Chains A and B, each alone.
Chain A
Amino acid sequence: MTTRREFLVLAAALAAPTAARAQVDPNLAANRKAAFQAALKRIAGDAPVRKGRVKLVLPPLIDNGNSVPLTVSVESPMTEADHVKAIHVLTEKNPLPDVVSVALGPRAGRATLTTRVRLADTQTVTAIAQTSDGAFWSDTAEVVVTLSACLEEGLI
């Protein structure tokens, strides 16, 4: 229940200048897609990013978008001559496209990473691997993100 004091504070906040309030970007989807493309360019430059060799595993329907288990593994002998140098994970609909970037080498034994990520919406997640020969390989996974049934609005 909102107390009178909370109501007054909220009313004051609403009356505050525009910049202080959360603004919804009317071009949200397009801007985030563009940010994704820019991140891709930063990672691979003009080199082609081919589908294959990378396996991105995410649960298709997740319990909670706040913490989604994610595993990337890349087929590679992981020798000095032929190994994975880096793994990147990107999203298209999160506020920022980058999720995590990993630098590794033959000492890893296997090119694999497991972590937990935040996903803002139902979307496609992309994993990119850079191999020692300078090539880029990728995989994508579709994830459905639902909100919790009972929204608590910060009540502890």
Chain B
Amino acid sequence: MSLRLLLLAACFAGASARAGEIPPDQRRSGYETMSRETRAIQDDDATNPGMLSVLDGEALWKRKAGAADRACADCHKSMKGVAARYPAFDPARGRPVTLEQRINGCIVERQKAPALAYESKELLALTAYVALQSRGLPIAPRIDAKTRPFLEAGREAFHRRQGQLNLSCALCHDDNWGRHLAGSPIPQGHPTGYPIYRLEWQSLGSLERRLRNCLFGIRAQVPGFGSDELVDLELYLMWRARGMKLEAPAVRP
């Protein structure tokens, strides 16, 4: 086969990995696939169970802790806009980190207290409290020369077929969103509301928990909390949702 044909085939193969990308104006939050009643739970702070965690987070934010006997509130004022730009580049680690990792970094380095466990009530509460302060703001992770390689790694992970079922995220969430899988509508999978109160969990949970669940569901290897693979994927997902409004703490089925 001639080199030209091979190149053409290569172009095609590269293009099909992007072919399913949802046009920006067709992106929809998972909010819109929910029933009217579940949406109502999210819309009212008086009925949204996620708000219980937000209140816990507010209390933790103000509480002095660690060997340094410092409260988050001692250094930080408003956290408006913060959650909307995570995962963000951390110069100390030379790579992007999640909001949870950033919070833990502060706890360890500034409060001189032990890091909070992933998915612990306390870490979720603090994350929820910070995320709430970006509610209504457009998602805007910063993509530049430093973060682009990690974005590309996340994009590759999103499009990669994996696991016993040989499925990629893109196959369901780019190519088949809106269709039904075993009675449930497939969402586009934008992380617009994290940490979410998921009815299936009956508790608040992080994006990493949700991603691990999904990977478990397609019978793939489940990366550990805070692993590079997961954080890169989160960066891609937030970039994919850029411009969409943050809804934290959202309610989802």
Q: B226 on the interface (CB 8 Å rule)?
A: no
Q: B35 and A150: CB pair below 8 A?
A: no
B217 beta carbon closer than 8 Å to chain A = yes
- Docked Cα-Cα span, A38 to B241, in Å, equals 53
One of A64-72, A94-102, A132-140 at the interface: A64-72
The SS class assigned to the A binding surface is loop
Q: Are B183 and A59 in contact (CB under 8 A)?
A: no
A64-B253, A149-B186 given; 20 more Cβ-contact pairs under 8 Å: A1-B221, A59-B36, A63-B34, A63-B35, A63-B38, A63-B253, A64-B38, A64-B199, A66-B202, A67-B202, A69-B41, A116-B41, A147-B182, A150-B213, A150-B216, A151-B217, A152-B213, A155-B212, A155-B216, A156-B212
Q: Distance (Å) between the CB of A151 and the closest chain B CB?
A: 7
- Contact mask for chain A residues 57-101; partner B; CB cutoff 8 A; 1 contact, 0 none: 001011110110100000000000000000000000000000000
A124 interfacial contact with B, CB 8 Å: no
| Complex Cα spacing A69 to B36, Å | 10
Report the bound CA distance from A127 to B127 in whole Å. Answer: 39
Closest to A152 in B: B213
Specify which of A59, A63, A151 is in contact with B199 (CB 8 Å cutoff): A63
What residue in chain A is nearest B38 (Cβ atoms)? A63
Name which residue of chain B comes closest to A57, CB basis. Answer: B37
Across-interface contacts of A64 in B (CB, < 8 A): 38, 199-200, 253
Contact A146 B216 (CB under 8 A): no
How many angstroms between the C-alpha atoms of A62 and B199 in the bound complex? 11
Task: List residues of chain B with CB within 8 A of the CB of A116.
Answer: 41
Say if the beta carbon of B181 comes within 8 Å of chain A.
yes
Which of A59, A61, A66, A156 has a CB less than 8 Å from the CB of B200?
A66
| Contacts of A8-56 to chain B: CB distance below 8 A | none
| Cβ–Cβ < 8 Å partners of B221 in chain A | 1
- Are A149 and B199 within 8 A (Cβ)? no
> Using a Cβ–Cβ cut-off of 8 Å, how many residues does chain A contribute to the interface with B?
20
Number of interface residues, chain B, beta carbon within 8 A: 27
- Whether B253 and A148, one on each chain, are in contact in the complex, defined by CB atoms closer than 8 angstroms, is yes
Residues of chain A at the chain B interface (Cβ within 8 Å): 1, 59, 61-64, 66-67, 69, 116, 146-153, 155-156
Specify which chain A residues have a CB less than 8 angstroms from the CB of B182 in the assembled complex: 146-147, 149
Nearest CB of A to B101, in Å:
18
Cα separation A152 to B209 with both chains bound (whole Å): 10
- Are A61 and B181 in contact (CB-based, < 8 A)? no
Instruction: Judge whether B222 and A149 touch: CB under 8 Å.
Output: no
Kindly list chain B residues whose C-beta atoms are within 8 Å of the C-beta of A155.
212-213, 216, 222
Q: A61–B180 Cα gap in the complex (Å)?
A: 14
B200-244 interface mask toward A, CB cutoff 8 Å, 1 = contact, 0 = none? Answer: 101001000100111011100110000000000000000000000
* Distance, CA A151 to CA B200, complexed state (A): 9
A62 to B37, CA, bound (A): 9
Q: Chain B contacts of A151 at CB under 8 A?
A: 217
**Judging by beta carbons under 8 Å apart, are A150 and B214 in contact?**
yes
Nearest-neighbour CB distance to chain A for B36, whole angstroms, equals: 7
Note all chain B residues with C-beta closer than 8 A to A1.
221
Q: Mark out the residues of chain B between 152 and 181 whose CB falls within 8 Å of any chain A CB in the assembled complex.
A: 181
Q: A146 vs B182: C-alpha distance in the bound complex, in angstroms?
A: 8
What separation, in Å, do the CA atoms of A59 and B35 have in the docked complex? 8
Closest to B41 in A: A69
CB B183 to nearest CB in A, in angstroms, measures: 4
Residues of B within 8 A of A69 (CB): 37-38, 40-41
Given A59-B37, A69-B37, check contact A152 B183 (CB 8 Å).
Answer: no
5 contacts between A and B (CB under 8 A): A64-B200, A69-B38, A69-B40, A149-B182, A152-B216
